[in-house]
Amino acid sequence: DKISTDVVVIGSGGAGLSAAIEAKNAGLEVIVVEKMAFVGGNTLRATGGLNAAGTSVQEALGIEDSAEVHYADTMKGGYDKNDPELVKAFTDNAADAIEWLLSLGGDFNDVGKLAGSTNNRSHRPSGGAPVGPEVVKTLKTATEQLGIQIMTETTAIEIVAENNVVSGIVAEDKDGKVINIEAKAVILATGGFGANATMLVEWDSALEGFGTTNQPGATGDGIAMATAIGAALVDMEEIQTHPTAVPSNGYMITEAVRGNGAILINRDGKRFVNELATRDVVSAAMLAQEGQTGFLFFDQSVTDSLKAIQDYIYQGIVIDGETIDELAGKLEIDTEALVATVQAYNGFVTSGVDGEFGRNDMPRSLKVSKFYAIEVGPAVHHTMGGIKINNKAEVINVEGSPIVGLFAAGEVTGGVHGGNRLGGNALADIVVFGRIAGKSATEFLNN
């Protein structure tokens, strides 16, 4: 099969849909290909919010903030490994991205604060609705209204290019039938490689055995396709992990569960690490335990202190018992050992000194029934590195020049987040650079 269009967008997450909408709005013919059966990618799974400074929403709430402070926070959060040109484009355009999403009918009228941000700038739906689905719903509705064709279960396998000039892609439908899509511009928005275990270990051998919080389509296809035609990569070894994800579904358990008093125990019913040590230390300790996972253990007082735990209970990922004995039985671990561990820990809470692992913050003892446990293990969350782009979302080749007609946006690119992505910056990044990619493709086609 052969199809012709102005712009083909690969991937239907936040970046791809934003790009498609901008290009279509500018009068171009746009086709989106998506390898999964559903639209939305990892963007659907995003929690937190969209970081932007100087929005009408902040103003209405009396929050003072500026792109300059957002820039400084992002560089500091990324250990200054970020590409300053990209961070500037990101933080300068983030507020406009929020206004744009609002104009498309999205609800981002609540503003919270996430770690690493000086001011409240994380935009999210009012009433506590999850933010990733709201971004996807807003963008998907707009693509439907604009009549943009999204071909699901269609996997891009190659970008066609000759002499540094792109002319389309080769894709495959679910039956393996080849589809050639001729296009004057290609926008890569395939997301990261957080679900590609082989590729993760290739870039960071310490990630052997890690799970993932990513949707299964996050396999780094865009990175392979782009490098095959000469694209440069940046920061590939910068991979963000989370120490406490649920092994069965990759759901992340907030660090606040430990912060509010939970301990980590292994299958011998023993603690094995300072629960508040850095992410890498806690992750490594967990992988050294039988089953490469541990259990967050806490009591009713911790549960009452944190709203998120109610959600975990509703989702059915929390095991409970009226007594420690009952819980230990359900976890199939030694009751006496667990009782002794909890007794010892409660003693540390009273004395203020963790004689075993040197944990310095022990906010409450664990003695109020019910008792609870969640099985957790370390997982890959976000891949900061990826394809090198400039502030027009043009893909840069290994010689340092743009590949003509090729643009990229979102988690498939590297440089915006440097060595560490701040919570709330990814969702804003994908919308900002998705829009830039759509506009740059338009400009390119009109010249």
Is the CB of 378 or the CB of 434 nearer to ligand ADP? 434
Q: HEC profile for 155-213?
A: EEEEEEEECCEEEEEEEECCCCCEEEEEEEEEEECCCCCCCCHHHHHHHCHHHCCCEEC
Rounded to 10 deg, the angle between the 324-331 and 335-351 helix axes is 130
String of b and e for 166-185 (b: at least 16 CB within 10 Å)? bbbbebbbeeeeebebebbb
Q: How many other CB atoms are there within 10 angstroms of residue 360's CB atom?
A: 9
Question: What are the structure tokens assigned to 381, written together?
Answer: 């969350």
Please state the closest distance from residue 40 (CB atom) to ligand ADP, in A.
6
- The residues binding ligand ADP (CB under 6 A) are 10-16, 33-36, 41-43, 155-156, 189-191, 217-218, 221, 410-412, 430
The conformational region for residue 218 under phi > 0 = left, psi -120 to 50 = alpha, else beta, is beta
Is the CB of 137 or the CB of 271 nearer to ligand ADP? 137
Is the CB of 174 or the CB of 330 nearer to ligand ADP? 174
Please state the closest distance from residue 184 (CB atom) to ligand ADP, in A.
19
* 258: annotated active-site residue: no
Q: How many other CB atoms are there within 10 angstroms of residue 410's CB atom?
A: 35
Q: What's the CA gap between 10 and 1, in Å, rounded?
A: 18
Identify the bridge partners of residue 181 per DSSP, sorted by sequence position. 3, 169
Beta strands (DSSP E) in 207-262 are 211-212, 233-234, 239-245
Closest CA to 251 of 130, 426, 387: 130
Q: Indicate which residue of 121, 279, 364, 421 is catalytic.
A: 279
Is the CB of 33 or the CB of 257 nearer to ligand ADP? 33
Is residue 345 within 8 Å of 200, Cβ to Cβ?
Answer: no
Is the CB of 20 or the CB of 282 nearer to ligand ADP? 20
Please state the closest distance from residue 414 (CB atom) to ligand ADP, in A.
12
Is the CB of 15 or the CB of 246 nearer to ligand ADP? 15
Please state the closest distance from residue 254 (CB atom) to ligand ADP, in A.
21
Q: What's the CA gap between 429 and 52, in Å, rounded?
A: 10
DSSP-assigned letter for residue 10: E
Please state the closest distance from residue 304 (CB atom) to ligand ADP, in A.
35
Is the CB of 189 or the CB of 396 nearer to ligand ADP? 189
Please state the closest distance from residue 190 (CB atom) to ligand ADP, in A.
4
Identify the bridge partners of residue 159 per DSSP, sorted by sequence position. 169
Please state the closest distance from residue 280 (CB atom) to ligand ADP, in A.
24
> Which backbone phi and psi does 352 adopt, to 5 degrees?
80, 5
Q: What positions carry a catalytic annotation? A: 279
